[in-house]
Structure formats: structure tokens, C-alpha cells
Amino acid sequence: MRLVLVGPPGAGKGTQAQFLSAHYSIPHISTGDIFRANLKAGTPLGLEAQKFMDAGELVPDSVTNEMVKDRLTHADAANGFLLDGFPRNVAQAQVLSNILNEKKLPLDAVLELKIEDSEIIARLNNRRSIESRADDAEEVIIHRLKVYHDQTAPIIDYYRTEGSLITISATGAVDEITERAITALGNN
Ligand code: AMP
């Protein structure tokens, strides 16, 4: 299963990705997690990414694309993967298509988690009080939502045209959403 998870910040991508990667026995590849791990370890990549992450901006494609290209060559991704947080704009989607076309391994599905902005703001305010992520501050959340609508949402049309898009509602209990996702992914 080669799967991409798309949705606004706070849609529950990370949580659903953990369940789906276990269900399908595929690695969960989160670009946000890789950036945060690099930041924690103080690597040059982490330091480069930090200023963009703290501001709620996308890390430049040149940095992100190389990181993903490298990650997809790891042995655990040979039989499938779940990408969470990548691609985040149409240029990244094109890079991913090129990587996979070269390997003749197309995506099985792009799963969109759909949710209203008002619910996201409420959820992320809650996450901020639990996880204290710098990029969950309210003004940064509002900016991240704008970045999502301006830059990331166009990939939904890209994948709809390609025929791989599956959309589910991301409201409700976590286990209900996982059920919904697995049902929607069907025999993929
Ligand atoms: P996330 O954990 O997916 O919400 O990502 C946290 C932050 O990491 C984002 O707000 C961006 O600053 C950065 N980031 C994660 N994935 C990408 C990506 N595909 N392209 C650019 N920046 C990204």
C-alpha cells in the first residue's frame, strides 16, 4: 500500500497515520516528525527548518524534497509507505509523482481528512495545552490554516484529476475515523 494522507493541521493526520501504518504494516513517514527529530538533535537540517516551522511556513521545497527522496530509498519503504504531511504543495506532488513513476510504483490512494477550520482551531488550542508545540500558538495556527488553503489544498484537485483521491470526514471519535478510512480504502 502506497498511501498519502492529506488534511489541514489539526485534522488528526498523525494519529490516523499511526493506526493505518500498523493496520497495513507500512512505515509512517511524517515530514513534520523528521523535521522535529532533526531540530531536537540540533542537525543543520533541523536548524534550517526551525525558522519556517516556528512561523507556520513551509520549509523550502529544495530541502523537503531531498529529505523525502532519501527517506523513500530506505529498505522499509520498499513494500509501501504512508506519507503524512508530504506533499504539501503542487510542486512537491509533482516531485513525488516523478519519483514513483521512475520506479513504476504509483500511489494506491490519497486519503483526504476533511474538517472545518472552526473545529481545527478548537482542537489545536487543546493540543497546545497538552504538547506545547511552538507552532500551535493561535496566531501561528491561523497562519498554518491559510498556508494549507493557499498552498496545500490545490493538491487535492491534482489527485482528484489523477483519480487517486478518497475523501472522508475527520470529525468524530478517533476509532470511528480509522474505521471510516479502512472502509474507504477498501481493497487497495
Ligand atoms: P506537521 O507536523 O506535518 O504539521 O508539520 C509541521 C511543520 O513542518 C509545518 O508547519 C512545516 O513548517 C514543516 N513541514 C512539514 N512537512 C512539510 C512539507 N512537506 N513541506 C514543507 N514544510 C513541511
Domains in the chain: ranges and CATH: 2-185 (3.40.50.300)
168/180 Cα distance (integer angstroms): 7
Q: Is 148 in the pocket of ligand 1 (CB under 6 A)?
A: no
| Better pLDDT: 122 or 187 | 122
Burial 73-89 (b: 16+ CB within 10 A, else e): eeeebeebbbbbbbbbb
Measured from the Cα of 52, ligand 1's closest atom is 12
On the question of pLDDT at 132 being above 80, the answer is: no
Residue 186, pLDDT score? 87
Nearest-CA neighbor of 69 among 54, 87, 52, 53? 87
Q: Is 2 in the pocket of ligand 1 (CB under 6 A)?
A: no
10/146 Cα distance (integer angstroms): 13
On the question of pLDDT at 150 being above 80, the answer is: yes
Q: In what order do the strands lie in the sheet with 165-169?
A: 28-30, 81-84, 2-6, 109-114, 165-169
d(CA 24, ligand 1 centre) in Å: 24
**Among all residues, which ones are annotated catalytic?**
13, 88, 127, 133, 144
Residue 4, pLDDT score? 98
Residue 134, pLDDT score? 67
Average pLDDT in the chain: 93
35-86 pLDDT, tens digit per residue, is 999 999 999 999 999 999 999 999 999 999 999 999 999 999 999 999 999 9
Residues 6+ apart with CB under 8 A from 48: 59, 63
d(CA 78, ligand 1 centre) in Å: 24
Nearest-CA neighbor of 90 among 70, 114, 115, 110? 110
34/53 Cα distance (integer angstroms): 12
Residue 167, pLDDT score? 98
Confidence of residue 133 (pLDDT cuts 50, 70, 90): low
Residue 178, pLDDT score? 97
4-35 pLDDT, tens digit per residue, is 999 999 899 999 999 999 999 999 999 999 99
% of the chain with per-residue pLDDT over 90: 84
Residue 121, pLDDT score? 86
Q: Which helix (H) or strand (E) holds 83?
A: strand 81-84
Confidence of residue 126 (pLDDT cuts 50, 70, 90): confident
On the question of pLDDT at 161 being above 70, the answer is: yes
Measured from the Cα of 53, ligand 1's closest atom is 12
